[in-house]
Amino acid sequence: MQEKLLTELETRTELPEIIFWESGKVDARLKLYKYISKHGKVVESTILNESNVINWLVKYADEKDVNLSSSIARTIVNHVGTNQHILAGEVDKLILLAKSHERNFLVEEDISILAGSTLEASRWDLLEAINSGNKKLSLQLVNQILQNPNEFQPLVGLLAWQFRTLYLVSRKDLTTVDLAELGIKGYVLQKARSYLHKTNSQKILVLHHKLANLDLAVKEGRIDARIGINMLLTI
Highest mean pLDDT among 59-63, 182-186, 187-191: 59-63
* Cα separation, 16 vs 117, whole angstroms: 37
Predicted pLDDT of residue 213: 92
Burial class (CB in 10 A: 0-12, 13-18, 19+), 40: middle
pLDDT at residue 206 greater than cutoff 70: yes
Residues belonging to the chain:
235
Predicted pLDDT of residue 69: 95
Confidence of residue 187 (pLDDT cuts 50, 70, 90): low
Closest by CA to 87, choosing from 43, 65, 49, 56, is: 56
Confidence of residue 122 (pLDDT cuts 50, 70, 90): low
What's the rounded mean pLDDT across residues 140-169?
84
Question: What does the pLDDT look like over 93-105, one tens digit per residue?
Answer: 888 888 878 889 9
Q: Which has the higher per-residue pLDDT, 143 or 13?
A: 143
At 67 the three-state DSSP class reads strand
Confidence of residue 117 (pLDDT cuts 50, 70, 90): very low
Predicted pLDDT of residue 6: 74
Predicted pLDDT of residue 106: 93
In degrees and rounded to multiples of 5, residue 105 shows phi and psi of -150, 155
Domains recognised in the chain with CATH numbers: 2-39 (no CATH), 50-116 (1.10.8.60), 120-233 (1.20.272.10)
What's the rounded mean pLDDT across residues 160-189?
85
Helix (H) or strand (E) holding 227: helix 225-233
pTM score? 0.48
Confidence of residue 7 (pLDDT cuts 50, 70, 90): confident
The one-character DSSP state at 194 is: H
Confidence of residue 139 (pLDDT cuts 50, 70, 90): confident
pLDDT at residue 157 greater than cutoff 60: yes
- 67 within 8 A of 61, measured Cβ to Cβ: yes
Rg (the chain; Cα; Å): 21
Confidence of residue 118 (pLDDT cuts 50, 70, 90): very low
Average pLDDT, the chain: 81
pLDDT at residue 62 greater than cutoff 50: yes
Predicted pLDDT of residue 121: 58
